[in-house]
A and B are shown apart, each in its own frame.
Chain A
Amino acid sequence: MQRTPFILRNPSVLIVIAVLAVFTAAVTAASAAYGTGVMPTSMVKVLGKTLCLALAAVAMDLVWGYLGILSLGQMAFFALGGYMIGQWLMYARTEGIVAASMAANPIPPTPAELQEGVAGQIFGVVGSTDLPWAWTFAHSLPAQLALVLIVPGLLALVFGWLAFRSRVNGVYLSILTQAMTLALALWLFQNDSGFRGNNGLSGLQNIPGLEDVGQARLSVWFLWASALALALGYVLAAWLMGGKFGSVTRAIRDDETRVRFLGYPVEGFKLAVFTIAAMITAIAGALYYPQAGIINPAELAPIASIYLAVWVAIGGRGRLYGAVIGAVVVSLLSSWFTGGRAPDLNIAGLRMAWVDWWQVALGLTFVLVTLFAPKGIAGLFDILNRKAKS
């Protein structure tokens, strides 16, 4: 049987990549470092971060839209990715500073002294001068890059294996994923767990070795990296879900018991999708936090993961481009409305500041979308398609 090529089966992939390319080119042309400078560097960073969130939303869509698991723990993987890369960023930068200050002394420092100095700089804020075991590989970029994938992947694998083999599903599973995120956040909040407690890791926007480049150019580089990651992640997700693997995945979403009776190893499929999604989310996080500059355990608050679900739902779940649209639209709107730049409303003489009322509006919009537009924004494309055909 002649199989239709991947691209023909997924025309949306080409469109998304084209839009992404145009968007990236436009931002580059408007940036201060490589273009006219119309767009301030902070805006470039916001857009770059938005692309990372869109990638996380794609992963969320894999888990929720295609596999049917409403995971409320995706931000755990996102933040873990950020923490792993943050460890290297912080360690390497501090090492540079400490080595420079020690060079003033005529006697060269011993490796132990250097490490002690770095640890004192990083952990002085939580009252410790020892380097915790979790920072064993912090000096090595390749090791931490590998850990970006390994740690969240392993967590997803272990948690998923425990949850799926005992047939926990539906809302139980959602609550359990939320509990996992909360446990991780609480653990990170402790000063003695080795991640600087609620101070988190900071100064991540300064890339060691690239101090001379400047934030203007770095922000554009990160935008490119984020766009590339989103494109690759999107293609990977589309490819996975477009084939037989994707068909089984969707079948599990629609009737898990029947798929099991047909002889498919349901747990294996679930575990694979859950773990892959966790790793994609971790990559998104590893790109997000150097742009944000700081990561702390508050990023893992259960509410953050639920927002991710909200974006996917508003964008339209079960479609990858829906997830991208939802993440981009809602997160940009959120930062616009809560940033205090939106004009206040005057309703019947009452002055309503969007800063105060955006959350209310978002919550109600969300209820309305769930009730009346379960396909989300992406559902509009169906209507347009139908009109075009008729």
Chain B
Amino acid sequence: MTALARIAPFALALLMPLAALANPALDAVIADNLDQIERPSRQTVAPLIADIAATGPEGLAMLQAWSARELALTEDGRAVITSGEVPVDAVTGDPVTDDFSSLRPNSGVRGVIDGALVVSQLSDPDPAIRRGALDTLARRADAAQLAALRGALDDPDPAIAARKARLERLLTIQLGEDSANRVQAIRQLSGDVALDFRAALNPLLATRIVATKDEPGGNVARELRPGSDDLSRQDAIAMLVDQGVLQPRLTSAEQRTRLAANIVDGRVGGLPVAALDDPDARDRAYEALEAEGAVPPAATEAETEAALDAHGFFAVYAEPDAAVTEAAETALTRTQTRLGVMRGFDLGLDALSLASIYFLAAIGLAVTFGVMRVINMAHGEFIMMGAYTGYVVQTLIADRTLSLLVALPLAFAVTFAAGVVLYRLVIRHLAHRPLETLLATFGVSIALQQLAKNIFGTQARPLTSPAWLEGAITFNDVVSISSIRVAIFVLALLFLGLFLFIMKRTRLGLEVRAVTQNPGMAASMGINPDRIAMMTFGLGSGIAGIAGVAIGLFAQVTSELGQQYIVQSFMTVVVGGVGNIWGTLAGATLIGGLSKVIESLNPANTLAAQTFMILFIIIFIQFRPRGIIPQKGRAAEV
């Protein structure tokens, strides 16, 4: 068949309203079925619709109008399409001036009409209509439509052709003629991770539970044991009660109420009331009452146990074909495996971004600890300061991109200055007293936190990211990462590079390394350790400020922002080892990766994840007390 021949009918259809061609076949169908058209019934309308569709393009146009509730009938029984500016005759396309009454088919009928239309729409010249038809089929389809789809697999648009082919396979899984066909379709798609494939498999693998004394009929998936995860004991008992093979089992409260209703002279069923604080005694009393006919029968524990033992419980597939369910199980297993790998990859991306944040937050701590043996408890508050700087800049500069570009260096400057001031006023005077420094900086920390609360209030301040950072980079149904996290990762890489450059290629870096290794010797070589310490402290604090802006972009800015990250930063430093940027990097990667992995094992419970995380670190310290990359040489002995 040439392309021209295939396109010809569509060209005709397009020309139809102008050319006003008569369609005697359609006219005849309408005339014969006026009643049905006026009052269609969902059960019986299908053949009529098929007839109308068979009459050609005019018939299809009429069906479309009918489904859209834009079809009407005149007094003398002509169909009128009212969708255009002027009502036209459905058969001839001529404008209609007579009175007409609109038809209002119900949704059931419209569903049948749509189903018939889909078949023709699959070959419609408009790609949007073809896509729409595929969407309709993906939602619901029957065997006839599958056959029609198979007939219309060729498509000029390769993307739509691929979708058609895929949909044909998916529909074959559900509606295929024979078992071999369906199994083949399942095998072909086996391992596919897309949602539609999983959705196509799920109904095949749906099971229901039957309880029987004999061999179960149907396509048995597996035998279940009452009291296991798949079938609770209570559910099993309820099933037996429903089948009438077991008398209802009373809850302890029901039993007690019925016993209480039958107290005679302080005795129930021959037992004194005082003795009824024992479940066995209550069962005996109830049996006695049951024998008298005073209470409805109920199963005792022993009867229940016997009934449960006598019955087998089986999960039975709704799908009768064993070959299909077997193939589906295998396919689903493969899909799950591939899904697991992809989830792992997604997890890796998450972990990477978390590690970047910890790295940014901890790098300043690690540097100051390496050079001065001092833990700065106010480090978290420097992070908070950076975030608030970002917030303030954003209130002054409306343009998000510009304000971010201003906020980053400004946050660095502000926290750098704060760090230098803290060093000059406090830390310098506490040299060689690390525990006192820890506490003094903690004093600074609570003062700064309360100060921020007094200035900015307790409610969270938003720090909105620019539009180009909104959204996410999506690889497929499973793997995606938000742009902001990519940006933070880039930022962390940038700072790693910058930091390495400063440490290895500049005079300042050389002096910092010298002071880290041996302050006394460095001083005798003309390096001023005090100045170096001040500079590194400022640098570390400045990076904390930058980290604050980055964190503020995805977390709420509050006065407690720093506290949320400070403990993780400490962990990063402790695990990574001090005085070495690679150690911090390793620590951040380990902590970030581990928290994500633990979180993914129990996604509902992030608190448990953090608990296990910290336990892990405490144990890790047992084996590497000085971190992953320990300091070597004399500096380590201080």
Q: What CA separation (Å) do A106 and B260 show in the bound complex?
A: 6
Task: Known contacts A183-B611, A371-B430; decide if A168 and B439 are in contact (CB<8 Å).
Answer: no
| A291: min CB distance to chain B, Å | 26
Chain B 446-484, CB-CB to A under 8 Å as 1, else 0, gives: 111111011000000000000000000000000000000
Q: Which of B259, B279, B617 contacts A112 (CB 8 A)?
A: B279
Find the A residue at minimum CB distance from B571: A179
Q: What CA separation (Å) do A163 and B435 show in the bound complex?
A: 17
Q: Are B454 and A182 in contact (CB under 8 A)?
A: no
Q: Which residues of B contact A367 (CB under 8 A)?
A: 426, 440, 443-444, 447
Q: Which residues of A contact B454 (CB under 8 A)?
A: 356-357, 360
Q: Which residues of B contact A364 (CB under 8 A)?
A: 443, 447
Task: Known contacts A179-B567, A187-B611; decide if A310 and B618 are in contact (CB<8 Å).
Answer: no
Q: Which residues of B contact A106 (CB under 8 A)?
A: 260, 263, 273
Chain B 347-387, CB-CB to A under 8 Å as 1, else 0, gives: 00000000000000000000001000111000000000000
Q: Are B440 and A170 in contact (CB under 8 A)?
A: no
Find the A residue at minimum CB distance from B259: A107
Q: What CA separation (Å) do A211 and B434 show in the bound complex?
A: 51
Q: Are A359 and B449 in contact (CB under 8 A)?
A: yes
Task: Known contacts A171-B438, A370-B440, A371-B429; decide if A363 and B614 are in contact (CB<8 Å).
Answer: no
Q: What CA separation (Å) do A192 and B608 show in the bound complex?
A: 10
Q: What CA separation (Å) do A108 and B444 show in the bound complex?
A: 62
Which residues of chain A (104-146) have a CB below 8 Å from chain B?
105-113
Which residues of chain B (553-574) have a CB below 8 Å from chain A?
563, 567, 570-571, 574
Main secondary structure of the interface of A (DSSP, over half): helix
Find the B residue at minimum CB distance from A364: B447
Find the A residue at minimum CB distance from B263: A106
Find the B residue at minimum CB distance from A361: B447
Chain B 2-15, CB-CB to A under 8 Å as 1, else 0, gives: 00000000000000
Q: What CA separation (Å) do A168 and B443 show in the bound complex?
A: 25
Q: Which residues of A contact B618 (CB under 8 A)?
A: 159, 162-163, 176, 179-180, 183
Q: Are A110 and B450 in contact (CB under 8 A)?
A: no
A279 located at the interface, meaning its Cβ lies under 8 Å from any Cβ of chain B in the complex: no
Find the A residue at minimum CB distance from B443: A366
Q: Are A371 and B426 in contact (CB under 8 A)?
A: yes
Task: Known contacts A162-B618, A359-B447; decide if A108 and B273 are in contact (CB<8 Å).
Answer: yes
Q: How many residues of B contact A (CB 8 A)?
A: 57
A83 located at the interface, meaning its Cβ lies under 8 Å from any Cβ of chain B in the complex: no
Q: Which of B278, B375, B450, B615 contacts A175 (CB 8 A)?
A: B375
Find the A residue at minimum CB distance from B578: A172
Q: Which residues of A contact B252 (CB under 8 A)?
A: 110, 112-113
B111 located at the interface, meaning its Cβ lies under 8 Å from any Cβ of chain A in the complex: no
Main secondary structure of the interface of B (DSSP, over half): helix
| A92: min CB distance to chain B, Å | 20
Which residues of chain B (584-619) have a CB below 8 Å from chain A?
605, 607-608, 610-611, 614-615, 617-619
Which residues of chain B (371-427) have a CB below 8 Å from chain A?
373-375, 426
A32 located at the interface, meaning its Cβ lies under 8 Å from any Cβ of chain B in the complex: no
| Interface hub of B260, B440, B443 (most chain A Cβ within 10 A) | B443
Q: Are A366 and B439 in contact (CB under 8 A)?
A: yes
Q: Which residues of B contact A110 (CB under 8 A)?
A: 252, 277-279, 282
| A17: min CB distance to chain B, Å | 30
For the A-B complex, the count of residue pairs with Cβ-Cβ distances under 8 Å equals 157
Q: Which residues of A contact B610 (CB under 8 A)?
A: 182-183, 186
B445 located at the interface, meaning its Cβ lies under 8 Å from any Cβ of chain A in the complex: yes
Chain B 106-129, CB-CB to A under 8 Å as 1, else 0, gives: 000000000000000000000000
Q: Are A171 and B375 in contact (CB under 8 A)?
A: yes
Q: Are B273 and A310 in contact (CB under 8 A)?
A: no
| A296: min CB distance to chain B, Å | 14
Q: Which residues of B contact A313 (CB under 8 A)?
A: 439
B305 located at the interface, meaning its Cβ lies under 8 Å from any Cβ of chain A in the complex: no
| Interface hub of B374, B426, B621, B623 (most chain A Cβ within 10 A) | B621
B274 located at the interface, meaning its Cβ lies under 8 Å from any Cβ of chain A in the complex: yes
B436 located at the interface, meaning its Cβ lies under 8 Å from any Cβ of chain A in the complex: yes
A42 located at the interface, meaning its Cβ lies under 8 Å from any Cβ of chain B in the complex: no
Q: What CA separation (Å) do A270 and B436 show in the bound complex?
A: 20
Find the B residue at minimum CB distance from A183: B614
Q: Which of B451, B570, B619 contacts A360 (CB 8 A)?
A: B451
Q: Are B447 and A171 in contact (CB under 8 A)?
A: no
B307 located at the interface, meaning its Cβ lies under 8 Å from any Cβ of chain A in the complex: no
B625 located at the interface, meaning its Cβ lies under 8 Å from any Cβ of chain A in the complex: yes
Find the B residue at minimum CB distance from A170: B434
B442 located at the interface, meaning its Cβ lies under 8 Å from any Cβ of chain A in the complex: yes
Sorted from nearest, which 6 A-B pairs have the closest CB atoms?
Answer: A363-B447, A366-B443, A359-B450, A183-B614, A370-B440, A108-B277
A residues in contact (CB < 8 Å) with B: 70, 105-113, 159, 162-163, 165-168, 170-172, 174-176, 178-180, 182-183, 186-187, 189-190, 192, 302-303, 306, 309-310, 313, 356-360, 362-367, 370-371, 374
